[in-house]
Structure 1
Amino acid sequence: MAKVSVSEADYVVICGFLSLSVGIGLYYAVRGRRRNTREEYLMGGRRLHVIPVTLSLCVTYLSSTSFVGMPAETFSSGFTYAFVSLGCAVAMFITVFTVVPMMHSLQLTSVYEYFQLRFGSVVLRRCISVVGMMQNGVHDIGGIGLTWDLAVQGGRVPPVDFSADPRVRHSFWSLVVGGAFMFMAYIFDQSAIQRMCALPSVRQAKLVYAATGVVVSIYVVSISFLGVVAYSYYTVQGCDPFKAGYLKNRNQLVPYFMMEIFNGFPGMTGLFLATIFSAGLSSVSSVINGLAANTIEDLLRPVFDRYNTTEKGKIFTAKMSVESWGTKFKLVGIGLQATLIH
């Protein structure tokens, strides 16, 4: 097994992807320049459609972290991690019949508005809003049969453990029940509530979450299986990349594995890396948009009301808020990158 690297064609693909992302942003910035209300800018006028909102919600949940981390987890600990997909399905089922009807009827822009409506306290809303905003910074093997058999023999497909012992790393209950609570927490995130309330009807909002549950569950199982494939591949190769010294951190596994199996196919590694960047950008853009909504609705609204700020001024402030949060995320990313390098 030889060391692999990114080719010139891969860099071309990555640069092309980034250029496309910038182009789409500029296109919609120009097309939507006449939006004259905060409702239009932050919520799409609450007239968005099911399919784009479903896709937007899914890519918000499916971050680059999960794309890299889940296969590494199953590579190290086994395929039982995929049971977290059942937790996702449970969370979305509960949401469709409880959270969606309540939140959509309130027509919120910021999720933290709920606390003011529920408890009648502006101070509580401001405090929780600040805390929430701070928190958001984050074939070669021989066929499917042999792949699965090698994973079973290597202990990567262990029997389901129904133990209630919380010290067990991947028990059925910790994955399903814990996964359900994890996704329920995501559902009450600003990004999720903002999309829910951007839909014109409760029925469409329910449909979005039902579809999201299916898509995310399939994604979790598929991406977890990728770790099983990687394990079987390196078993056949007779070389563990960690023991060989090629990899130091298990989060390096998926990029390295893809670079190796796509070696000899110019541009394919670049396409994969662009996919990771896409997942990262989708999550960051969702967070930035949500933070802008929180800034305008939770922190600056009293100032706007006091000084009778025009709608045009509010929209300008919202755009500057997006720019400010985006710059902050960029600086944090540069700092983390520098820390990792040194």
Structure 2
Amino acid sequence: MVSRHSFHIVDYVVFGATILISLGIGLYFALSGGRQKTTSEFMVGGRSMKFLPVALSLMVSFESSIMMLGYPAEVYVYGAQLFIKLFGFMAAFLICRVLMIPLIHPLKLTSAYEYLDGRFKSRTVRQLGTTLGALSYIFYMGIVLFGPAIALEAVTGFPQEGSIFLVAAAAIVYTAMGGLKAVIWTDVFQAVVMFAGMLAVIIKGTIDAGGIKAVWTTAAKGGRLNFFNFDFDPTVRHTFWGLLLGTFARSSGLVFNQSTIQRVCSTPTLAAAKKVMLIVSPAFWITLTVALIEGVVAYAYYVNVGCDPLESGQIQNPNQIIPFMVMDIFRGLPGMPGLFLAALFSASLSTISSGLSSLSAMTWEDVLKPRLPNVSDFTATVIAKVSVVAFGFLSCGVAILISFIGGTLTQIATSVLSAFNGPLCGLFIIASLCPWANAKGAIAGAVVSAALMMWLCAGATFSGATRPTPWLPPAPTDQCSVDNMTSLIMNTTGLMTSTTELHDVTTVGAVAEPVTGISVIYTLSYLWLAAVGIAVVVIVAFFVSWATGFNRDGNLDPRHVIYLSDVIRNIFTRGKKTNTDEKLVKQGSINTIVIGLEPGPAAETELPLLATTINNGLDPAHINQAKN
């Protein structure tokens, strides 16, 4: 690929320093404290992590190259409609704080899928959840690895495969050495680097585009501030309803997620776990907004210079727009391109390390531990570390496969992951919110949903039947130099495509051939895929549970179910105890106890005691005796 700029030695130093510091943090936790010799320390940080670093770690776990490259690319070619997604994310995280954390934290889980086993008393349901969760993580990591690879190729010509294995190797080393503690503290460091890189791009890009007013005026004239489309057609790529409701369904997968539950359970108290989500929600909002602003600034910048790199053929993929702009605006400022690349790799490293940590915990707790009951804790920790290496290399293979799928990273991630996240999220929803669901219903619902979603997502991705969405009018190309335009016809490296090939389904005014027959289902917008997966699980589970006698009350442990009536009553009584609470306490409902406690320090200290009391099978009336 033709590139007008190159990296300076200072850029490589800045980039290399980021990798070395991350490795250093992993080495520190490998040699300090308990030295990661137990599964508790390696997988959940000894359940003693402070809420602030855990919150930052959880935030950047979901903010990878998909955010740093995919969101700006989406704005550049389709507009800023994606901003509506943030409301769906916010709603999901807030509901997580109210419903999921009081349910999950007292159970002191290591694997999220232990919960499914406890709820349904079925190892089959647990293994099914573990399989879907593992597939989701492996594909997610593959997509995240692909992001910095195309960025580095765009600005330096470094091969994609080399970048993929570089990022994976770094994440594997410090995750295997330092466990969850290393993952969390490297995430904190990488969050700082990520923010610094993104803000540097926005500030310098805004200055070069003519200032804040010029940026927003240019974006408005170019149709990039197209926030609202209230079309009810579910085949339209982006509508207000799809972005809000579809994202809410998709975000529920982030709530019922091994990374989320693993971090929540690494905090010592319920109050600390709630603080984690209280911080994550607005922080997630802010960082995604910053990423969207990058796309607006990029468009305004290339309008100002009069040379759209996509339209002129200088880059082949919209996901490369931000790294390409970085090399433009920081020309003559050694170190700044390196800072951005460090930020991009930091975002990816945080996600990869979180995924590897989660997969190692799932592998041991859900797959190997039940089959190797007599293995020592030290040996179990070694096995978990080896699994980190295995999953790291597996994700590299997936990343190479992802390179053959077209579209922005945001669309690729949502489409591919919905095949697993939708059924998995539906499984957790019926487990926690539907007391009537039994194991047979859960298994049938998850299997049918997974099969349907894999077929639907594969068809939507590869059939070509998806309803094409025209790109918005590009920035002008009248100021492109001869060297820029010459790159349009240069294809000697095999990495570029012509303008016609690149825009064959995205050119403004493109007319698609009508889709008929079974292929019509593939025209559904990718935003609705997760919602469809959840709905199928709930519907199938209901009918199968009904046909098999529903769930018998005696088989239901009330600690594993959220009673919405309790939650609603708690909202209206503002946490005060009622006579109904006392009755339910006698029945052993941990959720009722959580809701019934007065907010404040007392609740924070009494909750673990209450949970322990009930877990031990004691009558809650003996709580005072247990205190003494």
Q: Normalised by the size of structure 2, how large is the TM-score?
A: 0.52
The answer to whether 1:158 aligns with 2:226 is yes
1:283 to 337, 351, 356: 351
Aligned to 1:304, what secondary structure does the other structure show?
A: coil
Long gaps (5+) in structure 1: none
Match of 1:100 in 2: 101
Match of 1:239 in 2: 307
In the superposition, relative to structure 1, how do residues 56 and 226 fare at CA in structure 2: closer, same or farther (>3 Å)?
Answer: same
- Cα distance in 2 between the residues matched to 1:35 and 1:251: 38
- Cα distance in 1 between the residues matched to 2:237 and 2:405: 30
Encode CA deviations 1:153-178: one digit per residue, 9 max, x unaligned: 11111252223222333322211212
Contact conserved, 2:85 with 2:244, CA < 8 A, in 1? yes
- Cα distance in 1 between the residues matched to 2:230 and 2:271: 36
Long gaps (5+) in structure 2: 141-206, 407-493, 496-628
Match of 1:10 in 2: 11
Contact conserved, 1:59 with 1:279, CA < 8 A, in 2? yes
In the superposition, relative to structure 1, how do residues 330 and 292 fare at CA in structure 2: closer, same or farther (>3 Å)?
Answer: same
Letter in 2 for 1:309: V
The answer to whether 1:313 aligns with 2:314 is no
- Cα distance in 1 between the residues matched to 2:33 and 2:390: 20
Contact conserved, 2:327 with 2:337, CA < 8 A, in 1? yes
Contact conserved, 2:75 with 2:295, CA < 8 A, in 1? yes
Match of 1:127 in 2: 128
- Cα distance in 2 between the residues matched to 1:156 and 1:34: 51
Letter in 2 for 1:277: F
Encode CA deviations 1:301-342: one digit per residue, 9 max, x unaligned: 12221xx22222222222222233234334555777899987
- Number of residue equivalences: 339
State the 4+ residue runs in structure 1 displaced beyond 6 angstroms. Answer: 334-342
2:265 to 167, 189, 197: 197
**How large is the RMSD of aligned CA atoms in angstroms?**
2.1
- Cα distance in 1 between the residues matched to 2:228 and 2:128: 43
Encode CA deviations 1:40-77: one digit per residue, 9 max, x unaligned: 22111111111110011001011112110100101111
- Cα distance in 1 between the residues matched to 2:398 and 2:230: 41
Match of 1:256 in 2: 324
Match of 2:244 in 1: 176
Letter in 1 for 2:67: S
- Cα distance in 1 between the residues matched to 2:350 and 2:37: 25
- Cα distance in 1 between the residues matched to 2:85 and 2:8: 36
Contact conserved, 1:100 with 1:202, CA < 8 A, in 2? yes
Letter in 1 for 2:109: L
Alignment of 1:102-121 (within 5 A): 102-121=103-122
Aligned to 2:371, what secondary structure does the other structure show?
A: helix
Aligned to 2:370, what secondary structure does the other structure show?
A: helix
Letter in 2 for 1:193: I
Contact conserved, 1:54 with 1:208, CA < 8 A, in 2? yes
Q: Which has the higher contact order (CA 8 A, sep 6+)?
A: 1
Contact conserved, 1:9 with 1:270, CA < 8 A, in 2? yes
Letter in 2 for 1:76: V
Judge which range, 321-330 or 61-70, deviates more.
Answer: 321-330
Encode CA deviations 1:270-311: one digit per residue, 9 max, x unaligned: 110011111111111001001100111001112221xx2222
- Cα distance in 2 between the residues matched to 1:4 and 1:110: 47
What is the CA distance between 1:82 and its match in structure 2? 1.1
What is the CA distance between 1:4 and its match in structure 2? 2.4
- Cα distance in 2 between the residues matched to 1:14 and 1:160: 39
The answer to whether 1:88 aligns with 2:156 is no
Match of 2:438 in 1: none
Aligned to 1:136, what secondary structure does the other structure show?
A: helix
- Cα distance in 1 between the residues matched to 2:236 and 2:389: 44
Aligned to 1:302, what secondary structure does the other structure show?
A: coil
Letter in 2 for 1:293: A
- Cα distance in 2 between the residues matched to 1:339 and 1:173: 26
Judge which range, 21-30 or 54-63, deviates more.
Answer: 21-30
Contact conserved, 1:304 with 1:314, CA < 8 A, in 2? no
Structure with greater Cα Rg? 2
Letter in 2 for 1:21: S
* Identity fraction in percent: 38
Match of 1:304 in 2: 372
In the superposition, relative to structure 1, how do residues 22 and 331 fare at CA in structure 2: closer, same or farther (>3 Å)?
Answer: farther
Q: Normalised by the size of structure 1, how large is the TM-score?
A: 0.93
Aligned to 1:228, what secondary structure does the other structure show?
A: helix
Letter in 2 for 1:192: T
Letter in 1 for 2:376: T
Contact conserved, 1:3 with 1:246, CA < 8 A, in 2? no
Judge which range, 205-214 or 327-336, deviates more.
Answer: 327-336
Aligned to 1:313, what secondary structure does the other structure show?
A: helix
Aligned to 2:267, what secondary structure does the other structure show?
A: coil
Aligned to 2:372, what secondary structure does the other structure show?
A: helix
Letter in 1 for 2:97: V
- Cα distance in 1 between the residues matched to 2:366 and 2:227: 49
Match of 1:214 in 2: 282
Letter in 1 for 2:390: S
